[in-house]
Each structure stands twice: as C-alpha cells, then as structure tokens.
Structure 1
Amino acid sequence: MPVSYPITPLLPEIVASLAGHPRLVLEAPPGAGKTTQVPLALLEAAWLGDRKIVMLEPRRIAARAAAEFMATQLGEDIGQTVGYRIRFDARIGPRTRIEVVTEGILSRMIQDDPSLEGTGAILFDEFHERHLAGDLGAALALDVQANLRPDLRLIVMSATLDGERIAQWLDAPRISSPGRSYPVRIEHPPARTQETVEQHLARTVNQALRETDGDILAFLPGRREIERTRAIVERQHEGVEVVALHGELSLAEQHLALAAPDPGTRRVVLATNVAESSVTLPGIRAVIDSGQAREPRFDPQSGFTRLETITISQASADQRAGRAGRVAEGVAYRLWPQSRRLDAQRTAEIAQAELSGLVLELAAWGSEDIPWLDTPPTGAMGQARDLLRRLGALDTSRITTLGRKMLALGASPRLAAAALRAPPELHPLVADLLALMEARSPLRGELGRTDDFRARVAALHLWRDGGARGARAGSADIAALAAIEKAAGGWRRRLGVRTGASGVPHAHAIGDLLAHAFPDRIARRDEGNAMRYQLANGRGARLHENSALHGEPWLVVLDLKLDARDSLIFAGAPFDPRILEIEYSSRFVTERVLRWDDARDIAEAFEERRFDALVLERKSVPVTGADALPALLAAIRAGGIEALPWSETARRLRARMGALRVWRPELGLPDVSDDALLASLDRWLAPYLEGKRRLSALQAADLSQAIAALLDYDQRRALDADAPDELRVPSGMTRRLGYGTLPDDPGASPVLSVKLQELFGLADTPRVGAGRVPVTLHLLSPAGRPIQVTQDLHGFWERTYPEVKKELKGRYPKHPWPDDPWTATATHRAKPRGT
C-alpha cells in the first residue's frame, strides 16, 4: 500500500493549479513530503509531456537524499527516472526525468541553454534559505519564462517563507499544506558561568537522555563545535551512538547519519543547519538548539569575506524545533534566554555576500535587469565589477573571453582567474589550491596556528604521498585531508589532469599562482616596520608575533581579521614580484605626486612609481608655485577651516556676513559657514595663496581681504548699514556689537554690552537688519557687572529700573541714578566731584 503523506491530498490541486497558471507558491512544514512527493506527482501531468523536472535543492546532502528516496519509491536505482547533479558528482541517465540539482548547477543549465528546451518545470525547494545562487536561479528562470518559455512551470516551495510576499513577486497562487506534527515542548536550560556552548550543549544532552525516549538532534554552528561536543558526549555516554552531520562528510558518512540506528541504540546527531530541512532523520524526539549558525559576511570596504557565527532567525528556530515533533510528542531545548527576541526571517544572502560571481553570471546573461526578489546592493555590485575588471573577466561592463572560461570552470571568479592563467604543467597544483582555498584548514595543533598557506599544501602532499603516515602525527586532520583530496580530484577532472601534485613546490610557486586570484591583496613589507605590510587596495595589515611569514618582502594575503587600522594576517604566501611586471604591466603607473608635510608646514613634490596603491619608488622633485597651490588647499581641507590664520577682524566680518545672510536673504550674500568655505576654497582663497609654498605665508590681513572680497559693492554697503560692526549709544560713545553668539544660529540677535548710564534718554531697543532684528542688550553696572539681559529697553525703564536704582544707588553713589531715565542725559563718566 502506498505511503500517505500530509501533502498527498493536495497533489491533485497542485497539478491542476499548474495546468492553469505557470507559477505556484507551495507552503508546507517539514515532514509534509513536499520535497519527494510533488516531483513524482508532476511526472504524469499532461502539461509536462515528455520533458523533465529540475528541482533545486540548496544543500548537497539534501539533494542526494531526496533523489535516492524518490528512486526507492519508484523501485529503481538512482540515475534512472530520478537522478541528481551536484558539484563533482552526477547520477543521471538517458531516461532521467527528475533531476535534483544544487544551486550552481541550475545557473549553469540556464546559461548553457536559455530556452531550457527539455525542461518542463523547475522546483525551488527550501527557498526560505535565500541563498545567493537560489535567488539568481529563480530570477533567471522568471526571465526565461517571461521572454522565451511561457509554458515553463515554476514552483517555489518552503516550510517557513513569507508566502504572501513571494506570491506577489511571482504573481502566483498559494497552496498551503497543514503537514503532520506533534506538540513540541520548548525549554530554555540556562547556561552556567563561563560555560562554552559545547559544554552547555553536552550537559543538555544528558538532560534530554534522561527526560526523553528516542534520538536527539543537536544543532551547532560548524564542524569545530561538532567535534568538540562529540568528544565530550562520547566520553560521558559509552552506550550512546554519536554521529556528525555536516557538509564536509563523505557520502558514506552522510548515509550513516541519515540511516536509522540499530534497534535498541540511542543516537545523538550533532548537525549544522544542513539538518534544518529537506533531510529526514528517523526517530528524533528531542532537539537541542545552540541558536547559532555560520554564514559568510562580506565587507565591501575591504573586499574580504569571512565566515561569521551568527544568531539564527525565529523561522530557523521554529524549523529546528519542529524536528522533535515528526513522529511523536517531543522537546526542544533552546540554549538561549527565553527573553531573547530573534529576527523573524533569515537575511537574504544577496544582501551580505561577495557578489563577483553574481555579476559575472549577469554579464554572461547580458542584462542585470531581471526580476529580483531583493535587488543586489549597489555598493557590493560596484566592488564586484571592479574586481572582475582587475581579474580580466570584464571589459568595462561586457564579459570577456576569459570571463566566459571562468564561468565554465565553475570556481569562484578569483580562483578561476588564477587557474586559467596558470601554465598546464602547474594544473595539478592548481587543483590542490582550488580545493584547499574552498575548505577550512586541515592543520591542527601548533601547526594549525601558522599563517603560511604553503603549510596546508605541504600537509596535503605528505598525506597523498605517504597516506596517514605521511601526515605528521597530530598536525593534520586526516578526515579533512580526505575531503580536500576528493575535491581536488574533481578539479583535476575539470582541468584535464590525470595525477595529483606531489612533493614540495618551490618557495614562490603557490604565491605566484594565487597572486592572480588576489591582485588587490598583493602586499609589500613596510620599510620601517618588518611586521607591517601595505596592500595594493590601500589598506594596511600586520603579521602576528609568531608569524611563519616574518621576513618575506612580498606576500599575497589570502585571509585576515579586519581592523580599523592594520588588519591581522591569518593566511598568506610569498611570491616573486616580477610576475606583476609580466602579468599586470598596465597597472604600474609613474606620476608626479604632491604632498603636504605637516611637520615642516610645506608642500612637497615627488615622482612615484606605483602598483595600484603600493608605492614602489619615490624621488623628490622641485616644487613649483602651480604645484604648491593644490597641496596647500588639500592641507586646509584636511586641517579644517580653523587651520587658517583668523584675526579678530576677519572673524567678526564673517559673523556679520553670516547674520545678514539670514536676516536679509534677498541680498544674496554668500554662505560663509565652515563647510561652504572649505568647499569653495578654490574660488575665494586660491588667489591669495598663489606663489606660496607654506601655509604660514598666508597673513591674517590676506584672509580678511579674501573674506571681504566675497561681497560686491551693494552687499558691502548693506552690511555696514544693516549689520554694523558697532553702534553709537546716547552717551556719544561707539560700542561693538557681538555677532555669532550662538554657534548653531548665525542669525541670532547681536549683543550690545553697555553700561546702563550710557543709555539714558533712549526709549526703545536699537534694531539692525533693516529694522527686523532687535539688539540683545547686556546692561552693565558702573563697574561693568551684568545687571539685565533684555530686548525690551522700554519695559526695562518702566518696570525694572526703579528696583535696580534702589539696589545700586548706594553702591555706586558717584554715578547718576535719575528718577526719570527717559529724559536724563546719558554719560559714560561718574558725576563730577562735589555734585
């Protein structure tokens, strides 16, 4: 009797929907059967005819497992009706009608045959993972459907996706399957002080073994954490089978992890996020979730991508927990505080990945205008184009012959460029480098801390030449070397190489090859500091104290830890700089360079020979007046407007201009703010710097004249009339007005500080700005101490003066304190003696 799955009742509706509409969004939880049952159901659809179904599966483990399960259901061997294609491994035949492929394979299929003549449907499984290649594949398929193949069916499937948004993007109907699940109890066992994630998880395994029956699935971010946890659990539980599940396992090891354990044996599966979806793990009753995953993060500013341990999304946490409720009630132990709130969905890889591969694919496609779900970031796209031009894959924006060969090879653009530039006799070594660069380091122990990439090649060759005995005891991970060797074998087949490299390459062979992959990371040792290097991209880097690369004059930097100043080199290799002259002669330039010497306060000129940002030679040359002016202006911009010799006169003139510009905008006075003056140095200050080599040669009087020259005749008259430098007060004296008293408000009322006796007889507050702005009066005692701040002189005389007079007349008896200040004579002196 055929097995029934939760998705089974919906299969006729799915087939019928696709008969009437070429796109569909299918939402179904883990265990519903969508991955294996939907492709089989579509085989007999009338609209499919004799064409095949291609199903995109993001992960290799899941792709193999899904294909093998479907083949078993049909009672066939893999490679007959159902097959798979993943990197370096394909099981398909002339009768294959369902191909399960990984993401890079789908892009190649579409690029090689844009009309997809033999394909009737493409299924995108686990689309919620939002891998870069999956987004590209879906966008290309939509473009094909819109322009070449309106009959092509596209189905997007997932357990946890934003179905409404996806359906709007596709303009497609949605079908949802309820799935089959049992209640899952969520617990948050707290961590202990200074406990590592591996210790916390191992302790929770003990709890789960006591509290539940069946097997345990534990999620960790990567292989390192899995191996450390495995050692702890195996030490504590001899009768428990502990297996790992991650992308670096051999096919046999993957089958072991996915197979049911022997009867009566309890199993603990330690997995990365490959076990979140699309693979069936029988007998799981408890899930332990570290809440972490390891994903690539790209920094467009540096051009480096690093794997970072990140906190998972709520959707991933729900998907992981659901694994505990597939066969019975279960428990999910979450190793983070219950109060922590996770992001709802996983961030799309396209928003945070290095995009050179994507840009190269789009260049080969002939257009970047394809229907994206999320548009690629502009900055990362621009950086990717720059890199591809450096590698020779793009000519301006069009793909070159080399670029097409790079795509056909299937490696990342950097490594493909290095492989295709290498002479044939070095292809065996190239295959090793391709495999090693894409894998984590196989080195362990003390050797595992080396920053010399050549040590990884040496370990692989020692192991290849002598087996386990060839690798130094404890210095290399034999399983990791085996996985790297398998990948190297795949690259050798693509490169047409029969045998692997052996022995020790000459000192510069590895660096010479990798320099073609990382021309922007060429590094030259600093002449003044042997531990510091300057990179061709302009950044600085340094070696760690125990570096194996100490003393090397030239390096190609393969990995580093980013730092705001000088980043730390994690991996590099020395190379022969003569290859730069041979392979990249166009990137050497010789030009005259001007520089400002802050210490000597003088402009200098040099003739420099550079490779990108690396200065190879520099010699001093005479400085002319024309040379000095740009350097002087650059020094002022770097030091800010305060680097100029401002006199009090110039500051006051500038403040008055700034105020009048606000009070009377119709006059069109120039903007004299810091930013505006710096931006227009070439216009207003450059004429006064002509012939000068030092900034100190600019006099304060020159600066005042330069500022005043910004005004025309009418503006200067208006400035004197409406923003005067001083006012005549009733005492007959002139007193300065203070402008710019509020830093953030150039139009603030000017301040007049004046002794009260000098204003007798003045009824109202003086005004400036063509009568629009009252002066702020700081009224002073005869001793110059503040009495009152006001803009209402009339009100002061009327209400406040009697109190002031009462308080101060006895303190200052020699000064007049008339009863009627309105008619009294103003004075700046004390009363004559005897009065």
Structure 2
Amino acid sequence: MSRKLVLPVDEILPTILSSLKRSPNLVIEASPGAGKTTRIPPEMLKLVDGEVMVLEPRRIAARMAARRVASEMGERIGETIGYQVRFDEVAGPRTRLRFVTEGVLTRRLISDPNLKGVAAVVLDEFHERHLESDLALALLKLLQGRRPDLRIVVMSATLEAASVAHYLDDCPIIRSKGNLFELSIEHLPYSPKPLEMQVRDAVEKLIARENSGDILAFLPGAAEIYRAMRECEESARRAGLVILPLHGSLSPEEQDRAVTPGSQWKLILATNVAESSITVEGVRAVIDSGLARMATWSRWTGLQTLQVGRVSKASATQRAGRAGRTGPGRVLRLYTKEDYQLRAEHDTPEILRSDLSQLCLTMRAMQIDPVKDVRWLDAPPDGAMESAGSLLDRLGATGDMVRQLARLPVSPRLSRLVIDAQKRGVGEDGCVVAALLSAGIEPGSNDLLSAMDQGRDQGRDPRLEQPLEQLRRIARPSRRQHHDEDALLKSVLTGFPDRVARLRTGNQLLLSSGASAEVKGQPPRYEFMVAVDAEDRSDKPLPLVRMTARIEPEWLIDLFPDRVREQSGVVWNRSAERVDAVSMLLYDDLVIQESRGAAPAPEVAAELLAQKAIEAGMGRFVDQDKLDLFLSRVEFAGLEPPDVLQTLRELCVGLLSFAELRTASQTFIQMLERKVGVRQLNQIAPESLRLQSGRQAKIHYERGKAPWIASRLQDFFGMRETLRIGQAHTPVVVHLLAPNHRPVQTTTDLAGFWERLYPQVRRELMRRYPKQSWPERP
C-alpha cells in the first residue's frame, strides 16, 4: 500500500458527501493537483451501495487513475477498483469503482438504459467538453428523470461551473483551491523558426538553468512530436535526458513508459493527452507550444477537418499546472503574453464542431429523439445533425441494424464494414481493416489492401492487437482464414457509400458528392475507389485522401441501385470542336459509365455550342468590325439593341461544330438587322451617303462620337449644304482629303469652309498638285 499523501481536496470530502446526501447532483471545481480524480470517487463508495463510474476524457487517464486509487487502497487493479477503455478492460466481480472513457458509458446505456447497479457517475475534467462527455451528461440527465436516486457529479479544474450547475437543476457548487507549487511562467518573444527548433531552443534554455527533473513539452500532434524528437536529440543526449513521445496512437505500454517514474530524467513530448487528469510525476518544467490539433467538421464536404489551432486560456492553465504538481515548476510558453490575452477563455465544445454520426447512432439505438427528447447543455447544430442522420440512413441504420452497429466500439462506418464482412465470409479481414482504420496508425501505403499486406509481411503493429481482439470478441468472426479481396472491398464500400471517387488526372479525384480531392502519394492504379481516410483542409483548396480502396462500378449498381440514375446530355469534344451526345450512368453526382452515339437534341446542342463560341470569342466567327459598326448604327438610331448572344444561340440551332458555325455566321449581321428592322435602320442610320460627284461615301459610326465620312475634296465640289442624317438631323462630320487621301480639313459646315478656308487650302493644293483642277468657286 502506497503512502497516502494529504491533498487539498481531502478537506472538502465531508462537505461533498453531505451535499450528495441532500442533493443528487454536484459540481466540483478543484485546482490542478488538488486530488479530485483519485480522492473523491473512492470516498463516494461510502455513500452508495452500488457502483461508481468515473468518466475520463482519455484512456491513459482512466488507466493511471485506477492504478493510483488501487495502490492507495492497497489492492491490485481489478479488485475493488477497475478500468474499462475502448479495446481494454481490467475489472472483476468485486469491482465497485470503475474508471472508464466516455464512450464506454454510452455503449452501456444502449444495452442497459437504466444503468442497473450504477449508483453514481462522475464526469471528470468536464472542461474539455468532448462530444462523448456532453452526450453522457445529456443521457444521464434524461435517465435521472426515471431514476431520481442516480447521483451525477461534474468535476473540473477550469470549468464554467455556473452554467453546468444551472443545467443540473441549480445544484450546489463546491470549490477547492488545490496546492500547486510556485510556478514561474515566461512568455517567449515571437520566433519565425519552425516549431521543432523553438522547442529545442526552449529545452536548451531550461537545461542551462535547471539541474533536475523531467521536462514536458506540449505539441499539436504526433508528426510535430517526431520532428521535435529528431531536433532535440543532441541537446537531450548532452543533458542526459531520455526523449519519450506521448500521444493517443501509442500502445498502453509506450504511454505508461512516458508517464511513470524512471531512473533517468525525461524529455516528454506530448499532445494534449497529458493536459489533465493525471499527474506525471517528476515534471519540473513545461514547454507549451500553445497549439493543439483540433477536429472539426466541414459542412460543405461532410469530411472531418483536423487543423492546428491555438488552445484556450483554460487549456494553457492546465498545461502549466503539470509543472507544479509535485514541486516548484517553470513554464516556457512559445507565444507572447499579448497572444495569450487574446485567446478564448475555453475551447469550443466538440458537439458544436464535430461529426455527430456516433451521437445520432446512440440516440437511434436508445430510441431517443435528439431534438424533442433531450435538453442539451449546448444544442448540436442543425446542419451537423442532418448530415449525421443522412449518413446513418445510407449505412442502413434502421431497425435491428441500429443495435448491431452500436454494439461495436468503432465508428458507424467501420461497424457497418465489419457486419457486412461477416455476411460475406471475410469477417476476420473486416475486423483487421476496422482495427487498422480506427487505430490512427500512419499506413505505409495509400492503398488499403497494400497497407494490410505490408502489415502481414512486417509483423502486425502491436497497437492493433487490443482493438483487434476486442472486435473479434464482440463480432465473433469465423477464424477460418478466407481471403476474398472483392468481398472485403465490397464490405468497405458499404461503410463508405458516400466516399466513392474516380481518378481524374494526376493525383486528383472526383468525389461522388461532386467535389474534387487530392490523393496523398502515388496515384492509385485503379480508376474507381472509396476514399476511406479523408479530411478537409483549411490551408489547401482540395481535401486530402490518405487511403483508398479499389471498387468496381458494377458494385455500385448491384449494392445501391437507388443511388444510380441514367442521364442523357451533351459534352464538348475539345479536339474536334464539336458537340457530342452522351448517355451517362451516374452514382450520386459521379459519372461511372458513359457512351457517345446518336445526335443530340438541337436546343441542348445549340446552347452548348453557343456557350463554347462565346468562350472562344465572337471574333472567330463574325467580322468584329462589321458587328461593332452595326451596333453603333443601332445606338445612333436610338433603336432597341438586339440580344447578340440570344441571336447566336438561334444561329446555333441545328449546328454541332465550330466549322458549321463559321459557315452559318455569314448571315449573322442580317439576322440582327431583321430583329431591329432593316428598313427603319437604313432610313435613320444609313450605311453611306451619295456625294455631288456621284460617289457613295461610307458613313462611320462610333459609339460616343458623331457620324463621319471621308472623301477627296473634289467629290464635294458643288455642295454647299451640311450633310445631315437621322431623326434629329445630326450633322455628319466631313473629312476632306487631298489627292493623296490625307485629310486637309475636318468640318460640319461646308458653306463656311468654302468661304473662309478654301482659298488658302486651294493655294497649297495647287502648288502640290498643279495638274489637278482647283476652281476658285467650286
């Protein structure tokens, strides 16, 4: 039996028990290090006859807390104290205090809606607001209506206690200050260096000042952890530190190695799994990147988005508290104090930003309407609920299938995959695929079957063993090793019916939703596939597909005939510059088969031909100068201009190609003229004027300018009156040209020109062109 230290929360234990005797609900706010996780739940065993369940946000926290309490009680784990997390359980018939992850409770509620034998449930570290914790609280509150004796206790170090207490019928709030040792918190100035180099610099700074204790560094994810491990290797070696990773994808043994005391000082590089619930003994310094990888849900693509974001002030407080649990500590924050001040007080609850298919499946299994029957602490968004419900419908989550899906400790998609694989005789391989996809292990290939083959060749990853064994225990697949690739891949398809994709060009895929995506690594060797591991990206225009699985288009027709439809239409043949008729077979919005044949409908073909002609430019088919002149004449005449594009569409009727359009477009101007009335247009805005010499002079019309003509000066001999056209008798600007066709004068007053300017012009022209006739009074 370990020596039981006095902890701050011990002082409030009598108050807690007294409150729970009077009221079934309680909110406890206790500072980091106060001992709430390990002291309050075992004390509650004195108050109740049944079992106490403690919900922890992470598997490592549940395991460590159970071990610590069992040690303090002088027992082995699995006797009075046990734990149950996804894929792992240590408990026995005498177990009364059970530390569990949040999803374990919801699955138990499905099989046992009244939680028989459970007298109290404690929700620990509720400030993290995981989706499962919000769901658990809502279901417990609903259950309390049938079981008023059920006690609900919500605990956290950094919690908006008032809102939770109000939700729990304005229950009491009890606070404990805790006994964090003195913390020195330093905000470092902004650095443009990569994150791993900033961590290395911070480690070296701590090494230079400190001479003992472990260092705990918080990083966003596993990729950043391993980059920092490589960067810090030399610094750690010189200081005698062993570098250990700590993240959710590690095996329990690897996680335990990082958090349990050792003979050598450690540099622990962790994600936020080490942020709360557990005391990592020996830590004297914390390096906080201020970042975490947060899961969100993209409403537009329906895909999960994992993006690195800034943690809240509450999370920063939790991280700093790791350094002051067992002695004075030092905290280096890799961000400025101004940055800290601008951060949100608390992280956004997962229920407001995550995929809700698991939540909705639980509700269906319990026959609860999530809108009408449940009062939420924070109601889930309507769009996310609709999307989750739609996915479950596509997975066939109705009737008995709902309970089958809910039995398995994996996502609804993977549950459907396992169930279908069993029906097809490949249940063992189905369990392997589900374990592989749920474990979050970075595969060596972007092809599902290749990743499985690599695992067989290299020896199965130990991180797969526990999830695989639990899936086998629940699903009970046939142990006969029957390998049928097509049967397995069809089962994968049933779990991802909305993730069908077709290879387009290079690494780009076209998804059945109509969106595009980019596949990671080498392009697949097959045309049709399922995107089994995909996420939206805020920093890139296209979602990323990390793993695919081959499918055949015929499977879509066989498995989902209601999602397949025929559609006839037209497509543009770019090389031939023509419209082709096409008959298509579509799965959702993805073309899975197409054929080209009979002539297309004239109206549809005309629309596409006109659209492509407009994109190519009208100048390829019509004399642009003539078109501009016509439109300028119409504008001068004050007539309603014709719709040029609509006229082009009319011209395209009966045509299929650019070659045919070029021939037909010779009549395009005439078509426009008929629309405005060619006789009226010629009367108001004639194309030419007859001069005294008998010559026809072309009238130039330019938008925003007066109409004008140009001809040799001799052509105007005998003309005194100014030329006028149109309903307003607009004077025509006359460009008088010399014999070399260069202008000598521009005027709208011929009479005035002859009187005032012609004598001087005549002398000049007589000298330059003596053979021409230049009368004094022309």
TM range (shorter): 0.7 to 0.9
- Maintained 8 Å contact 1:59/1:274: yes
> Which string of whole-angstrom CA distances, capped at 9 and with x for unpartnered residues, describes residues 347-389 of structure 1?
1111221111111112222211312111111112111122112
- Maintained 8 Å contact 1:588/1:611: yes
Once residues 701 and 26 of structure 1 are traced to their aligned partners in structure 2, the CA distance between those partners, rounded to angstroms, is 85
TM-score (ref. length: structure 2): 0.73
Residue correspondence of structure 1 range 315-334 to structure 2 within 5 A = 315-334=314-333
Is 1:581 the counterpart of 2:551 in the alignment?
A: no
Is 1:381 the counterpart of 2:385 in the alignment?
A: yes
Once residues 482 and 590 of structure 1 are traced to their aligned partners in structure 2, the CA distance between those partners, rounded to angstroms, is 48
Aligned to 1:206, the other structure's residue is in SS state helix
Q: What's the CA shift for 1:599?
A: 13
Match of 2:434 in 1: 434
Match of 1:493 in 2: 473
Aligned with 2:26 (options 6, 24, 27)? 24
Match of 1:717 in 2: none
Residue correspondence of structure 1 range 612-623 to structure 2 within 5 A = 612-615=588-591, 616-619=593-596
Aligned to 1:316, the other structure's residue is in SS state helix
Is 1:165 the counterpart of 2:172 in the alignment?
A: no
- Maintained 8 Å contact 1:230/1:242: yes
Match of 1:196 in 2: 194
Give the partner amino acid of 2:164: I
Once residues 41 and 68 of structure 2 are traced to their aligned partners in structure 1, the CA distance between those partners, rounded to angstroms, is 12
Match of 1:661 in 2: none
> Which string of whole-angstrom CA distances, capped at 9 and with x for unpartnered residues, describes residues 612-670 of structure 1?
112223556677799899999999xx9xxxxxx9x99999xxxxxxxxxxxxxxxxxxx
Match of 1:454 in 2: 449
Q: What's the CA shift for 1:17?
A: 1.4
Give the partner amino acid of 2:247: H
Q: What's the CA shift for 1:432?
A: 1.5
Match of 1:517 in 2: 495
Match of 1:254 in 2: 255
Specify whether residues 81 and 648 from structure 1 end up closer, same or farther in structure 2 by C-alpha distance, changes over 3 A only.
farther
> Which string of whole-angstrom CA distances, capped at 9 and with x for unpartnered residues, describes residues 769-792 of structure 1?
xxxxxxxxxxxxxxxxxxxxxxxx
Q: What's the CA shift for 1:558?
A: 2.5
Residue correspondence of structure 1 range 44-59 to structure 2 within 5 A = 44-45=46-47, 48=48, 50-59=49-58
Match of 1:222 in 2: 221
> Which string of whole-angstrom CA distances, capped at 9 and with x for unpartnered residues, describes residues 267-311 of structure 1?
322222111111111222211111121222221211221432222
Q: What's the CA shift for 1:343?
A: 1.9
Q: What's the CA shift for 1:693?
A: 8.8
> Which string of whole-angstrom CA distances, capped at 9 and with x for unpartnered residues, describes residues 226-258 of structure 1?
233334434333322333322233333333333
Match of 2:696 in 1: none
Once residues 650 and 355 of structure 1 are traced to their aligned partners in structure 2, the CA distance between those partners, rounded to angstroms, is 62
Q: What's the CA shift for 1:132?
A: 0.7
> Which string of whole-angstrom CA distances, capped at 9 and with x for unpartnered residues, describes residues 415-465 of structure 1?
11111111453122112211211234445xxxx4x433333212211123x
Specify whether residues 547 and 54 from structure 1 end up closer, same or farther in structure 2 by C-alpha distance, changes over 3 A only.
same
Match of 2:204 in 1: 206
Residue correspondence of structure 1 range 441-590 to structure 2 within 5 A = 441-443=441-443, 448=444, 450-464=445-459, 481-497=461-477, 511-526=489-504, 529=505, 532-543=508-519, 547-549=522-524, 551-560=525-534, 562=536, 567-590=543-566
Give the partner amino acid of 1:519: P
Specify whether residues 701 and 401 from structure 1 end up closer, same or farther in structure 2 by C-alpha distance, changes over 3 A only.
farther
Q: What's the CA shift for 1:68?
A: 1.3
Once residues 480 and 254 of structure 2 are traced to their aligned partners in structure 1, the CA distance between those partners, rounded to angstroms, is 24
Give the partner amino acid of 1:521: R
Specify whether residues 141 and 433 from structure 1 end up closer, same or farther in structure 2 by C-alpha distance, changes over 3 A only.
same
Aligned to 2:207, the other structure's residue is in SS state helix
Once residues 611 and 370 of structure 2 are traced to their aligned partners in structure 1, the CA distance between those partners, rounded to angstroms, is 39
- Maintained 8 Å contact 1:191/1:200: no
Aligned to 1:242, the other structure's residue is in SS state strand
Q: What's the CA shift for 1:560?
A: 4.4
* More moved, 451-460 vs 594-603: 594-603
Aligned to 2:276, the other structure's residue is in SS state coil
Q: What's the CA shift for 1:180?
A: 0.9
Match of 1:300 in 2: 299
- Maintained 8 Å contact 1:441/1:456: no
Specify whether residues 553 and 256 from structure 1 end up closer, same or farther in structure 2 by C-alpha distance, changes over 3 A only.
closer
Q: What's the CA shift for 1:316?
A: 0.5
- Maintained 8 Å contact 1:508/1:576: no
Aligned to 1:534, the other structure's residue is in SS state strand
* More moved, 606-615 vs 429-438: 606-615
Give the partner amino acid of 2:363: L
Once residues 607 and 488 of structure 2 are traced to their aligned partners in structure 1, the CA distance between those partners, rounded to angstroms, is 44
Once residues 650 and 361 of structure 1 are traced to their aligned partners in structure 2, the CA distance between those partners, rounded to angstroms, is 70
> Which string of whole-angstrom CA distances, capped at 9 and with x for unpartnered residues, describes residues 204-240 of structure 1?
1122123234222211222233233334434333322
Give the partner amino acid of 1:488: L
- Maintained 8 Å contact 1:461/1:501: no
> Which string of whole-angstrom CA distances, capped at 9 and with x for unpartnered residues, describes residues 147-180 of structure 1?
x112211111111111122222222321111111
Once residues 43 and 108 of structure 2 are traced to their aligned partners in structure 1, the CA distance between those partners, rounded to angstroms, is 23
Specify whether residues 187 and 577 from structure 1 end up closer, same or farther in structure 2 by C-alpha distance, changes over 3 A only.
same
* More moved, 325-334 vs 601-610: 601-610
Once residues 127 and 703 of structure 1 are traced to their aligned partners in structure 2, the CA distance between those partners, rounded to angstroms, is 74
Match of 1:358 in 2: 359
- Maintained 8 Å contact 2:493/2:530: yes
Q: What's the CA shift for 1:127?
A: 0.6
Once residues 702 and 125 of structure 1 are traced to their aligned partners in structure 2, the CA distance between those partners, rounded to angstroms, is 82
Match of 1:788 in 2: none
Specify whether residues 259 and 531 from structure 1 end up closer, same or farther in structure 2 by C-alpha distance, changes over 3 A only.
closer
Give the partner amino acid of 1:456: A
Once residues 234 and 90 of structure 2 are traced to their aligned partners in structure 1, the CA distance between those partners, rounded to angstroms, is 39
Match of 1:14 in 2: 16
- Maintained 8 Å contact 1:313/1:343: yes
Once residues 139 and 650 of structure 1 are traced to their aligned partners in structure 2, the CA distance between those partners, rounded to angstroms, is 72
- Maintained 8 Å contact 1:189/1:204: no
Q: What's the CA shift for 1:482?
A: 1.6
Give the partner amino acid of 1:29: S
Once residues 559 and 251 of structure 1 are traced to their aligned partners in structure 2, the CA distance between those partners, rounded to angstroms, is 24
Q: What's the CA shift for 1:566?
A: 5.4
Match of 2:714 in 1: none
* Structure 1 gap ranges (5+): 394-398, 468-480, 639-644, 652-684, 705-835
Q: What's the CA shift for 1:124?
A: 0.4
Specify whether residues 349 and 267 from structure 1 end up closer, same or farther in structure 2 by C-alpha distance, changes over 3 A only.
same
Residue correspondence of structure 1 range 657-806 to structure 2 within 5 A = none
- Maintained 8 Å contact 2:435/2:467: yes
- Maintained 8 Å contact 2:421/2:488: no
Specify whether residues 648 and 286 from structure 1 end up closer, same or farther in structure 2 by C-alpha distance, changes over 3 A only.
same
Q: What's the CA shift for 1:54?
A: 1.1
Once residues 41 and 485 of structure 1 are traced to their aligned partners in structure 2, the CA distance between those partners, rounded to angstroms, is 35
Specify whether residues 554 and 276 from structure 1 end up closer, same or farther in structure 2 by C-alpha distance, changes over 3 A only.
same
- Maintained 8 Å contact 2:59/2:101: yes
Once residues 554 and 123 of structure 1 are traced to their aligned partners in structure 2, the CA distance between those partners, rounded to angstroms, is 48
Once residues 494 and 197 of structure 1 are traced to their aligned partners in structure 2, the CA distance between those partners, rounded to angstroms, is 43
Aligned to 1:296, the other structure's residue is in SS state strand
Match of 2:241 in 1: 240
Specify whether residues 441 and 324 from structure 1 end up closer, same or farther in structure 2 by C-alpha distance, changes over 3 A only.
closer
Give the partner amino acid of 1:74: M
Greater relative contact order (CA < 8 Å, ≥ 6 in sequence): 2
Q: What's the CA shift for 1:500?
A: 9.5
Once residues 93 and 390 of structure 1 are traced to their aligned partners in structure 2, the CA distance between those partners, rounded to angstroms, is 39
Q: What's the CA shift for 1:514?
A: 2.0
Match of 2:711 in 1: none
Match of 2:587 in 1: 611
* Structure 2 gap ranges (5+): 616-626, 636-645, 656-664, 677-778
Residue correspondence of structure 1 range 798-817 to structure 2 within 5 A = none
- Maintained 8 Å contact 1:284/1:323: yes
